[in-house]
Amino acid sequence: MTPAVNAWNAEYLEAAYQQFQADPQSVSPDLQAFFRGFELGLNTIPAAGGAGALPPGAGADGGSSFQAAVDDLIFAYREFGHLAAKIDPFGRERTRPPELGLAHHGLKESDLDRVVHTGTLKLPDNATLREVIRLLDDTYCRSIGYEIMHAQTSEERTWLLDRIESARGQPPLSHDARIRVLHQLLQAEEFEKFLGKRYPSDKRFSLEGSESTIPLLNRLMERATELGVEEMVVGMAHRGRLNVLNNIMGKSYEQIFTEFEDNSPEAWANDGGDVKYHRGYSGQRRFPSGKTLHVSMASNPSHLESVDGVVEGRTRAKQRLRGDLQRTRVVPLLIHGDAALPAQGVVAETLNLAYLDGYTTGGTVHAVINNLVGFTTSPEDGRSTTYCTDIAKMILAPVFHVNGEDPEAVIWTAQLAIDFRQQFKRDIFIDLYCYRKYGHNEQDEASYTQPILYSLIRKKSSVLKVYAERLLAEGVINEADMVEIRRRLDEALEAAQAAAKQTPYDPTIDPGSARWQGMGGRYTHDPANTAVPVQMLQEVCAALGRTPEGFRLNPKLKNLLEARANLPQTKLISYADAESLAYGTLLLEGTAVRVSGQDVRRGTFSHRHAVLRDTETGEPYIPLNHMRELGRPGTDAPPGSTGPDGRQRQAQFCIHDSPLSEYAVLGFEYGYSLADPNMLVCWEAQFGDFNNGAQIIIDQYLASAEAKWERWSGLVMLLPHGYEGAGPEHSSARLERFLTLCGNDNMQVVHPTTAPQMFHLLRRQVRRNFRKPLILMTPKSLLRTPTGTIDELVTGRFQEMLDDHAFSKEKGWDRAGVKRLLLCSGKIYFELAERREKLGRKDTAIIRIEQLYPFNKALLAGILAAYPKAAKATWVQEEPRNAGAFLFISDLLRTQLGLEADYIGREGSATPATGSKHAHKAQQEHILTTALGALPEGKEGGKAKPPAPAKQPAPAR
């Protein structure tokens, strides 16, 4: 594979040049042109001693110099022709690059009738320079600007050049195809006009001025089915979305009019729902060929481009479920706006995922609806690049800039784009130059800020009118055809609106269909059966301690693997152990697991070591994928089926280190969770604080998607959280932010304190008949500290709250003597328990709220009822008063249990934690002293250690 010009190195060029000198045809066309230009340059360099440059055609080999100049001109058209292409929808002239002129290459008008070598151009061998230029102008300077010479490989460039130049820029459309394009334009325009006439005060973000989007997407999808694509996952912003939902996705007129009429009998519960141009849809498209395509449009908010990662993750999951290892049967399509594409950082983050092993989807087709303006901002104020698509060059993706006023050119770019994607499994962009007929929405007065542009728009005939006149003039259609098509469309629209007024049509898709069959949306505190047989734990532990023969393990990991193998005998388990055991048991049961994030294979705190590396070869080994034979979905040997050894095949453990990105990666994992409810999908922040880089995904998708769009997700967020003196950036996962977003039982926020709790919690996530995002505060200093026993995995389950086991029958403390109830969550429990033990304070009980939301008030009421009514309740936390759980929990205690709780913790602060270790220790000591008292003189507190694991009381119901 030949690299792009900007990636060539000297050694490669020298070898290729020697090959070119021996046989010019033995290297690719772009290299031929490059070396001929290079030789032309040599012929025009001033001679030593100050002699003037030799003009092309002069000197010892004038013919060779002339041909080199011609080759250089050909290369210039391929490289710079897009800058002269007629892509402006208003026909405004562009400054022609000097590289396309004869003089720039030392050529003259008198050379135009000279015979030239045409190389790979589709011309006879005896063609003249004039004929060469005519072909190049037709190919590169008409309605499509091809920006392709930066493509990744010589193979890609050769393929593109051959397809483009063979078609002389674009091939003609057949008679029937042209009529279909006209009909699609007519459907797009009539739909917008009808909405504008019947609902003039409603925002609709119309497609008017960009109607060529509809034939573009139609041809893209139809051609995709011809190439074996079975499903396409789509993401787009609101511009033109209603039109695309109707004319591409198959959402009916009646469904859309129901939303405009706002007459649904089911009023949105709890102020849920969303505006119509944010909703998604899915359906089955059937094309004239008889082939079908399942199309899914992701719901997304007004946060432009935030849906990009979601679409990619959803696509990846669908590819896995179909067994699409070549990534040719499910294809992602992203429809961008010209202003958002270069301006939203998530675009670059998502593009960076394009070819990474854990995230690639085999290439994305990108279509840009280029309105030449963003809200009220002109391109000169919105980007520092020539094109809005220049960001595509970061992954060397080809770009086709096409004039939206030439529908036939648009159709060709759509076909070429999907052909390229399927051939090379790489991203490609179509930049559709069009315009926005109205302001940002239909009520805006756009001429306030773009007076010149909108004076042109007011005078502009629609693309439908221009194209129809062209087909009428060419005799492809007649006036009667147009009248009849309009009549049928008008009747259909009228009938649909009348029907929607009479009987509302559900505009949404059933969230419990397809792979979500059997799932519901209602949260319940009912326990799930998450215990496992001891034999299964033994099998997982054996695998965790095993490496293949000849594998050279890092010596520092030898003890860790031995300890994991011996867990059934040693019994004591840590968070790290519990997590691996939860994953392993799920895999044996046929439930796949995906974990991604920065450093997740090893673990930020070197606790996971899920992937081992051979110290000499670097080859990876994943113990959890070598327990049994792997089953693969979408094949005749899926997980759970019986393998050759008579045992059930295990599911796959997919664990991937992510790039230093939170926004796109969390969006990706969220999208993945939408497609597969039966897989445990986890994202881990390197430090819990880093989730704030993905706040848009958290706010707009995780927390609110169920209420807005009826979309369910079981995504798990693993967020290291805890105060150990690591400073303000590495102490807090911002628990308070998640709690602020809680409502309508929308997600689970949990801060577990023991390893068994972690084990059962992870398994519970995929063992219930509903899915809610799980926000999981995980420890740092306690990751490898034993906090439970393996026996608790065989008989226990997750408990949303933990009563104080010091007052259990085994310990024997008397509840009647309790004067103070300390309620807490997380690591602070162990420090409180240790201080209480040292001080012998049997008058204080410590109750752990493991699940902060949804809040099980009945369970807590039952626990509190066992203590004296006079006992004073106090919430204790490490975080500042305005952070952590206090404000949220105190409100729940007051409003749901009538309980006023005191507060012990850090004072309110603008920053999560101090940067001084000395100050941190002093603050932590103050919390413990306030809660339980100071240690006697000379009795050191030291680092808190969990008490020896004790048998937990029977689960409260």
Interval 228-283: pLDDT, tens? 999 999 999 889 999 999 999 999 999 999 888 887 766 444 456 778 778 889 99
Place of tokens 């063992």: 767
The Cα 902–Cα 904 span in angstroms is 7
Q: In terms of Cα–Cα distance, which of 923, 914, 791, 775 is closest to 850? A: 775
Total-model pTM: 0.92
Contact 392, 351 (CB under 8 A): yes
Q: How many CA atoms lie within 13 A of 277 on its CB side?
A: 18
Question: What pLDDT digit, counting tens, does each position of 911-937 carry?
Answer: 999 999 999 999 999 999 999 999 988
Q: Assign 32 a pLDDT band (cuts: 50, 70, 90).
A: confident
Cβ-based neighbours of 881, under 8 Å, separated by 6 or more: 887, 903, 905, 906, 907, 908
Amino acid (1-letter code) at residue 273: G
For range 580-593, the mean pLDDT: 98
Q: Is pLDDT of 53 > 90?
A: no
Distance from chain centroid for Cα 720: 22
Encoded tokens for 298: 């992701």
User: Does the bond joining 511 to the residue before it have cis omega, within 30 degrees of 0?
Assistant: no
Q: Is 186 strand, coil or helix?
A: helix
Pairing of strands 231-236, 844-849: unpaired
Q: CA distances (Å), 423 to each of 156, 234, 251, 331, in order?
A: 9, 20, 31, 13
pLDDT above 80 (res 592): yes
User: How far is residue 82's CA from residue 70's CA, in Å, rounded to a whole number?
Assistant: 19
Give the Cα separation of 604 and 767 in Å (integer): 28
Distance in angstroms (rounded) separating the CA atoms of residues 257 and 259: 5
The DSSP result for 316-342, as a single string, is: HHHHHHTT-TTS-SEEEEEEEETTHHH
Determine contact, residues 217/244, Cβ cutoff 8 Å. Answer: yes
Is residue 397 a contact partner of residue 153, using CB atoms and an 8 Å limit? no
DSSP one-letter string for 835-887: HHHHHT-TTEEEEEE-EEES--HHHHHHHHHTS-TTPEEEEEEEEETTSTTHH
How many other C-beta atoms are found inside a 10 Å radius of the C-beta of residue 705? 23
Q: For a pLDDT cut of 90, what percent of the chain falls above it?
A: 79
Residue 74 has pLDDT above 70, yes or no: yes
Torsion of CA 465, 470, 474, 475, to 10 degrees: -10
CB atoms within 10 A of CB 471: 18
Model pLDDT, residue 40 = 54
As a whole number of Å, the CA-based R_g of the chain is 33
Q: For position 51, what pLDDT does the model report?
A: 33
- DSSP per residue, 812-839: ---GGG--EEEEE-TTHHHHHHHHHHHH
d(CA 180, CA 381): 39
